Structure 1
């Protein structure tokens, strides 16, 4: 097992700057954000020029990672592959294929994304639609020796009523998506707030957990008693603010990281545990984000065999 980090939390730094800092901070791998350069949301970090990525680009990136003694564990493009707008969905699929091509050029085994959801339709027709959409994407990746890995994030902010916007949030749905040839980028934080014990999900699905994300979650005392499980309903200006929980860096929330890492080892996980920093306490500035990543490293490094 190696300790890595997702680069998306530092969208305004170059990949070269992040690699230099991460190596110095003791990280061993990077999960590289590969959103398009749209100038949109901050978390849509574009740390690889996947559009038109060529041999010279590949040589430059390989050299960068070799100089800093880092692995490139996965490329990350977490978007809605079932978007209800056909034109937007086509854009997403085209960029996802460019990310897959770039992964193949760099010999990166995994590309992370979401199943997503058409939020205008119920769950059942979405599953049927996914069964039409994903085989072609899985085949495209497989032909290039790349696996598509799905993060089990609920993505409640994508749904107008805060319902799940990514149909990959529970073990029931994992079993369904595995049948489509998809793998899991396992994240315990999302399981924690929906009432699933993350440690208990490792053994049954160990053969499909090929990459993992390290993000913590803090339950805010007493808040669920006001809002209920589904979160704020009357005054929810931010679609991602449920009002009763928030993401934290590892070591600042509810997740038992000793138990998580132990279970991953017990069941044969040899991939990368990649810190995904979305902690509002340690966010907002580059300095604070880096401090949050240092806290995560101090939490996890003693648990991982050198």
Structure 2
């Protein structure tokens, strides 16, 4: 197992600076963000432009990682593959394929994304839609030696009422998506606030988890007593404002990282555990964000052998 982090938390920095910082702070891997660059860098990260990527660019990226002794664990493009606008859905699928092409050139095994959801359809209708839309992407990736990994983020902000916007949030849905040839990019933080035991959910599926993310969650049960499980309604500022829980860097929330890492080891996991930094306390500028990554490192690195 290696410890890395997802570069999306540092959208303002170029990849070479992130790699240098990671290596100098004893991180071993990077999960690299590849959203299309539209100029809105506060809300997205584009550390590899997969739309203009050939052998020269692949050689440059490989040389960068070799120079710093880092592993490139996955390309990361987490978007709604069931977007209700069919034109936008096609654009997203095209960018997933571009990520697959770049991963194949780089010798990277994984591309991360979401299932997503059409918010105007029922779950049953969304499952039928996914069974039409996703197998061609799985086949495209497989032909190039790449696997598509799905993060189990709820993406409640994608739904107008704060309901799940990514149909990969529970073990029941994991089993369904495994049947489509997809793999899981396991993140315990989402399970915690859903009321699912992250360790119990993890244990049976380690062999379908080639890559994992490390994000924590801090719960406030007293606030839940006011708002209920689904969070704020009248007082909700935006789709992401539940009011009773928030994401934290590992070590500052309620996830039991000793049990998580031990369960991964027990199940034979040999991949990368990638910190996904979305902590509202340790963010806002580069210095504070990197301090958050240092906190995560102090929490997780002692648990990883080697």
TM-score computed with the length of structure 2 as normaliser? 0.99
Secondary structure of the equivalent of 1:172? helix
Distance 1:143 1:76 in 2: 19
Q: Who is 1:200 aligned against?
A: 200
Question: Greater CA deviation, 233-242 or 29-38?
Answer: 233-242
User: CA deviation digits over 1:134-183, x for unaligned, max 9?
Assistant: 11000000001000000000000000000000000000000000000000
Question: What RMSD in Å do the two structures reach over aligned CA positions?
Answer: 0.8
Q: Displacement, 1:41?
A: 6.1
User: CA deviation digits over 1:248-290, x for unaligned, max 9?
Assistant: 0000000000010001000100000000000000011111000
The answer to whether 1:129 aligns with 2:136 is no
Q: Who is 1:61 aligned against?
A: 61
Q: Who is 2:181 aligned against?
A: 181
Distance 1:179 1:170 in 2: 15
Q: Who is 2:109 aligned against?
A: 109
Residues 12 and 41 in structure 2, CA contact (< 8 A), matched pair in contact too: no
Q: Who is 1:229 aligned against?
A: 229
The answer to whether 1:153 aligns with 2:145 is no
Structure 1: unaligned runs, 5 residues or longer: none
Q: Who is 1:30 aligned against?
A: 30
User: CA deviation digits over 1:21-43, x for unaligned, max 9?
Assistant: 00001100000000000123634
Matches within 5 A, 1:86-105: 86-105=86-105
Q: Displacement, 1:218?
A: 0.2
User: CA deviation digits over 1:86-129, x for unaligned, max 9?
Assistant: 11101101111111100000000000000000001110000001
TM-score computed with the length of structure 1 as normaliser? 0.99
Secondary structure of the equivalent of 2:78? strand
Q: Displacement, 1:303?
A: 0.3
Q: Who is 2:280 aligned against?
A: 280
Distance 1:39 1:115 in 2: 25
Residues 149 and 182 in structure 1, CA contact (< 8 A), matched pair in contact too: yes
Question: Greater CA deviation, 112-121 or 203-212?
Answer: 203-212
Residues 9 and 43 in structure 1, CA contact (< 8 A), matched pair in contact too: no
User: CA deviation digits over 1:175-218, x for unaligned, max 9?
Assistant: 00000000000000000000000011222111101100000000
Distance 1:148 1:197 in 2: 25
Q: Displacement, 1:221?
A: 4.7
Matches within 5 A, 1:250-261: 250-261=250-261
Distance 1:221 1:85 in 2: 37
User: CA deviation digits over 1:199-243, x for unaligned, max 9?
Assistant: 112221111011000000001251101110000000212210100
Residues 109 and 145 in structure 1, CA contact (< 8 A), matched pair in contact too: yes
